[in-house]
């Protein structure tokens, strides 16, 4: 069965028209800019970006008009990343792990079961680990990341075969992962059959059963309506992931300093709002998803960790990332291997 984009829109009820902010100043703005992301317009990442764009427009007195294009309207993550690099796109949010194909060290927050809680996450990502990764991103010469990473959350596994409680339950499960090398490695080591796909293809791939399952935080399972095409939700918390808010370096650095400062401050302020809203959703959505028909269970964290230890996951990635990066990670998480 082939699901077209039109079918997809019909199933998910997502509007096909771009959500254009800042129409008042659109004609007169000195800087008409575009921001793209992969999440639905109702997810806090998109709503925060829209509020941010409004504030930037007001504070720059209409000189900067950022149009927000949610839910892959400009293309999937891979497409948007190449647009960002070429300057066809001004800003985007992207998982550090997906950025991994271009900036391998950016994947370091994706080490399985690394961060015990949000205290560790923000200490690391707002601290030396995040700064280290942002330096790697800036070293591409074409793109850069703003200081405060936006939240996605702790990831949970959904599928339509069985509840996933321990690694053995993943055996034979075709699990969609985002296109990031460490994701494929993690789920291969846990015994699943990982299939990397961009998020833009996930709903239709689950619907047509090209894959059995996927893994994402509850806010995404809810706003992207994945509960419509998935039965089981297993709370594994196997990894925390966020979104670097990134810009095209040349375009941004070509802007007047006062405008750069307004944008930079607003990206950080929007990050704070976005983090609070995502946290609230991820913490509170389980009952809502149960009412929509999903069956929840808890994952056995110790069993998953042990499997990763035995498979050599930690040793392999320590070697790939190198001592400097690994030491920075363990500064916040404690000893991992
Ligand atoms: O692709 C995904 O699953 C998502 C939405 O979580 C990311 O952007 C990494």
SS3 for the chain is CCCCHHHHHHHHCCCCCCCCCCHHHHCCCCEEEEEECCCCCCCHHHHHHHHHHHHHHHHCCCCEEEEEECCCCCCCHHHHHHHHHHCCCCEEEECCCHHHHCCHHHHHHHCCCCCCCHHHHHHHHCCHHHHHHHHHHHCCCCEEECCCCEEEEECEEEECCCCCCCHHHHCCCEEEECCCHHHHHHHHHCCCEEEECCHHHHHHHHHCCCCCEEEECHHHHHHCCHHHCCCEEEECCCCEEEEEEEEEHHHHHCCCHHHHHHHHHHHHHHHHHHHHHHHHHHHHCHHHHHHCCCEEEECCHHHHHHHHHHHCHHHHHHHHHCHHHHHHHHHHHCCCC
Atom index in ligand 1 nearest the CA of residue 39 equals 5
pTM equals 0.92
* Same-domain status, 88 and 167: no
By most ligand atoms within 8 Å of CB, the mutation choice from 36, 37, 38 for ligand 1 is 38
The enclosing domain of 169 has a CATH number of 3.40.190.170
> Residues lining ligand 1, CB < 6 A?
38, 95, 98, 152, 178, 199, 216, 220, 241
* Same-domain status, 273 and 201: no
* Same-domain status, 137 and 211: no
* Same-domain status, 113 and 197: no
By most ligand atoms within 8 Å of CB, the mutation choice from 42, 43, 94, 199 for ligand 1 is 199
* Same-domain status, 62 and 125: yes
Segment 196-224, tens digit of pLDDT: 999 999 999 999 999 999 999 999 999 99
Domain count of the fold of the chain: 2
Instruction: Find the domain containing 178 and state its range.
Output: 156-239+285-333
304 has a pLDDT exceeding 60 = yes
* Same-domain status, 186 and 248: no
Atom index in ligand 1 nearest the CA of residue 176 equals 3
Looking at every residue in the chain, the average pLDDT score rounds to 94
* Same-domain status, 96 and 106: yes
Ligand 1 mean position to 94 CA, how many Å? Answer: 8
13 has a pLDDT exceeding 50 = no
27 has a pLDDT exceeding 90 = no
* Same-domain status, 86 and 128: yes
* Same-domain status, 233 and 272: no
* Same-domain status, 40 and 62: yes
Segment 131-188, tens digit of pLDDT: 999 999 999 999 999 999 999 999 999 999 999 999 999 999 999 999 999 999 999 9
127 has a pLDDT exceeding 90 = yes
Instruction: State the average pLDDT over residues 116-139.
Output: 98
* Same-domain status, 144 and 107: yes
* Same-domain status, 275 and 294: no
């Amino acid at each position: 069965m082939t699901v077209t984009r039109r079918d997809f829109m019909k199933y998910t009820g997502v509007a096909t028209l771009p959500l254009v902010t800042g129409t008042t100043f659109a004609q007169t703005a000195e800087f008409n800019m575009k921001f793209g992301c992969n999440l639905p317009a109702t997810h806090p990442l998109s709503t925060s970006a829209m509020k941010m764009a409004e504030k930037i427009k007001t504070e720059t007195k209409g000189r900067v008009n950022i149009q927000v294009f949610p839910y892959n309207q400009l293309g999937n993550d891979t497409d948007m990343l190449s647009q960002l690099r070429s300057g066809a796109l001004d800003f985007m949010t992207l998982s550090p792990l997906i950025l991994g194909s271009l900036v391998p060290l950016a994947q370091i927050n994706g080490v399985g079961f690394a961060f015990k809680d949000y205290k560790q996450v923000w200490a690391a990502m707002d601290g030396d680990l995040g700064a280290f990764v942002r330096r790697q991103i800036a070293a591409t010469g074409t793109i850069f990341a703003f200081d405060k990473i936006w939240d996605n959350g702790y990831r949970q596994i959904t599928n339509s075969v069985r509840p996933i409680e321990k690694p053995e339950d993943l055996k034979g499960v075709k699990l969609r992962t985002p296109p990031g090398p460490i994701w494929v490695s993690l789920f291969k080591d846990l015994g699943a059959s990982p299939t990397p796909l961009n998020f833009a293809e996930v709903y239709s791939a689950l619907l047509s059963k090209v894959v059995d399952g996927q893994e994402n935080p509850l806010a995404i399972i809810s706003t992207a309506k994945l509960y419509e095409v998935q039965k089981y939700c297993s709370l594994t918390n196997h990894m925390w992931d966020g979104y670097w808010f990134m810009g095209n370096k040349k375009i941004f650095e070509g802007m007047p300093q006062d405008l750069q400062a307004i944008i930079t401050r607003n990206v950080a302020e929007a990050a704070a709002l976005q983090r609070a809203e995502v946290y609230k959703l991820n913490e509170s959505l389980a009952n809502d998803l149960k009412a929509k028909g999903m069956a929840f269970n808890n994952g056995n964290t110790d069993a998953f960790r042990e499997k990763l230890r035995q498979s050599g996951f930690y040793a392999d990635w320590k070697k790939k990332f190198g001592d400097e990066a690994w030491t920075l990670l363990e500064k916040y998480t404690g000893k991992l291997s």
